[in-house]
Structure 1
Amino acid sequence: MSADMPTPWQQRAYAQAIVALDAGRLPHALLVGGPAGLGKLALARRLAHRLMCSTPAGGDACGQCRNCTLIAAGTHPDLIEETFEINEKTKELRKEILITQVRRLGEKLVLTPQIAAGQVALVYPAEAMNRNAFNALLKTLEEPPAGRTLILIADRPQRLPATIRSRCQWLRLEIPPVAEALAWLQAQGHAPVVAQQALEAAQGNPGLAEQYLAEDGIRLRQAVAADLAALAQQRAGVAELAAAWMEDRPALRLRFSGELVRDHLAQRAGAPRPDALAAAGLSVLPPVEALGDWFDACARTLRGLDSPLRQDLQLAELLIGWQRLAD
């Protein structure tokens, strides 16, 4: 999602922040929270740009002043972003934000701004900070320097400690009404039927639906449903299926697996939800409690992909459990 073309739900949240800013009520710490895919980072960057602009106009940054020019070039020394860093040993992105990063951020925020009237710092995803990083951040929140704004961005703000959340003003991005989400998806060039299908798969989240459409996610979701149905009917083997899943977006396949089981359970409970597992040919109906347990195991396996344990073995164990449900 482009910050130059904000979505309706982004615009509503941004307008709320600007009203507070114009009234002198924008706090030194904001928590931008909401489901993944709704454009929280783009919203936070737009707000940061506005805060640092020398001559804002119409609620937005002017785009012409020195601050705006430097921000556009990505070289403004008073705009700070902290996110995942490269692990020098593995040469891969870390999966958490470390205390050293938060301490470095605190050290920067006590310095005199070099160009702008103040400093703005973005931390994302904020829930990825480890415990020591949270404690270090708390010190900055308790004694904020004047003219500094800290913006935390989180897909799962509930994972932040209460001591952090209580010191921030929340700016929420909510999943929009279905009609608005469908209209936006169609405005991106997607046919109504395809947009509807993607939105249902994304649980009403238009940003996630757009991602699925861009990355062929709908086809992959259907393939996962077919795989699970085939496994339950002994038409596919665990080893070959685990190997195939490992080769192509295993985390997304696990997410789809959990969502498919959730939809299946909802449909069995009488909710008007599409049941892709039944459509894929799942004829055996395991007990609801057993399916709930497998859903939990799927969530644990998804989290476990970030652990040192072998991913293929974790996937195989989960799929063996699914196959046993049909016995």
Structure 2
Amino acid sequence: MSKLSSAPVPVATAGRELPPWLVGHWQRLWKAQVKGRLGHAWLFTGPVGLGKRLFAERLARALLCQHPDEDGAPCGVCSECHLIDAGYHPDLQRIVPDAESASGEIKVDAIRELVALENLTSHRGGYKVVHIVPAEAMNRAAANSLLKTLEEPTERTLLLLIADDASRLPATIRSRCQHLVCVPPPEHEALPWLAAMLQSPPAPPELLLRLARGAPLKALTMGQADYLSLRRQGFQQFLGVAEGREDPLAVAAAWQSLDMPLLLELALGWLCDIARLIGDPQAQYLSNPDLHDALLALALRLPSEKLHEFLRHCLRAGSLQQGSVNKQLLLESLLIRWALLGAAGAMASSSQ
């Protein structure tokens, strides 16, 4: 069953200060709130790692705080702020998928519970705020149930839908929300923040930001986890399969215990860089600049048309893995195709 919760987000992301690339968004939204034009439903969209959840948390805290400052920063010391910190504020609810559910969906029961709460007055006499995250995890029945609430909003209730991929939401949901779209900030804005946040970074902040496709919070997570060692080992296995040194079935077995979305993201990053280098061996921008030489060697021998065909298979696998597909078979299929592509490239190179 999907989860309706008031538990707080981690303290590390719940502070008073917003990262610089979100400040402009905040000023516009808070100005709308001061003028009474905030509305009843917002959809926050954009890639992972830009701070959408942090922004939604900050907005909820500002609306529920007894003494926010003129710029909307919550005071952090009033009884409302203490209730949020403790995870017990009755007027702040978060709907998330049940961690024990294999489907990862937000199901209709949680939305029905929300609708029941919507009909009640605020416990504390102010706003009621609801986060739905990730909003695209709502199944069809849940989305249909939410639609009535969006069409007939309750006074002083704010619905915040947070989505990494808004295209997976029904158009009827998207059209009834105001939109805030987050995009990766320029490097000159993101890098100083990232460098200040990282302590003893395992790699240059510039590389981490590139690997994170410009998403600073994602880059920060990469710098604090075993991501780099996993990536290094994964690339050597990926390269070995292409060069015929690694058995694709053995690599698929080794990868089965790893996070499938992460594996596909890594592979797509390598493949896109190879495609860039096929198009232009002097390409200046790569997502994996530290792997330039190995990627260029692959680009010089892999046939462009077959590489793009394999890319399409990987993209299709990304949508399949969200369902109940057999992970082992999916990995085996992809790595066998990759081995055949590598063999075809080696044969073409030897015949020239």
How do 1:97-246 residues align onto structure 2 when only pairs under 5 Å count? Answer: 97-189=106-198, 194-246=204-256
Whole-angstrom distance in 2 between the partners of 1:80 and 1:157: 21
Shift of 1:199: 1.5
Partner secondary structure for residue 13 of structure 2: coil
TM-score between both structures, scaled by the size of structure 1: 0.91
Residues 76-98 of structure 1, C-alpha deviations (whole Å, 9 max, x = no match):
11111101124xxxx44641111
Q: Is the 8 A contact 1:225 1:277 kept in 2?
A: no
Whole-angstrom distance in 1 between the partners of 2:242 and 2:300: 7
Shift of 1:304: 2.8
Choose from 255, 259, 263 the match for 2:269. 259
Query: Is 1:17–2:29 an aligned residue pair?
Result: yes
Whole-angstrom distance in 2 between the partners of 1:52 and 1:116: 10
Whole-angstrom distance in 1 between the partners of 2:224 and 2:182: 22
TM-score between both structures, scaled by the size of structure 2: 0.85
Q: Is the 8 A contact 1:48 1:120 kept in 2?
A: yes
Partner secondary structure for residue 152 of structure 1: strand
Q: Is the 8 A contact 1:84 1:93 kept in 2?
A: no
Q: Is the 8 A contact 2:52 2:182 kept in 1?
A: yes
Identity %: 37
Whole-angstrom distance in 2 between the partners of 1:127 and 1:309: 19
Change (3 A) 1:64 1:200: closer
Partner secondary structure for residue 309 of structure 1: coil
**2:13 partner letter:** S
Choose from 82, 102, 105 the match for 1:96. 105
Deviates more, 1:283-292 or 1:111-120: 283-292
Whole-angstrom distance in 2 between the partners of 1:147 and 1:32: 19
Residues 109-152 of structure 1, C-alpha deviations (whole Å, 9 max, x = no match):
11111113231111010011111111111110000011111111
Whole-angstrom distance in 2 between the partners of 1:283 and 1:265: 7
Choose from 263, 266, 273 the match for 2:285. 273
- Residue aligning to 2:53: 41
Shift of 1:22: 1.0
Residues 163-188 of structure 1, C-alpha deviations (whole Å, 9 max, x = no match):
21121111222210011111112112
Choose from 11, 14, 33 the match for 1:3. 14
Shift of 1:101: 1.2
Change (3 A) 1:273 1:45: same
Shift of 1:50: 0.9
Partner secondary structure for residue 247 of structure 1: coil
**2:58 partner letter:** R
Whole-angstrom distance in 1 between the partners of 2:102 and 2:14: 25
- Residue aligning to 1:28: 40
Q: Is the 8 A contact 2:201 2:223 kept in 1?
A: no
Choose from 91, 101, 106 the match for 1:78. 91
**2:328 partner letter:** D
Deviates more, 1:317-326 or 1:290-299: 290-299
Change (3 A) 1:314 1:30: same
- Residue aligning to 1:312: 328
**2:261 partner letter:** A
Shift of 1:193: 6.4
**Over aligned residues, Cα RMSD in angstroms?**
2.1
Whole-angstrom distance in 2 between the partners of 1:283 and 1:57: 55
Shift of 1:293: 1.7
Residues 200-226 of structure 1, C-alpha deviations (whole Å, 9 max, x = no match):
222222222222222232332233332
Change (3 A) 1:272 1:145: same
Shift of 1:285: 2.5
Partner secondary structure for residue 265 of structure 1: helix
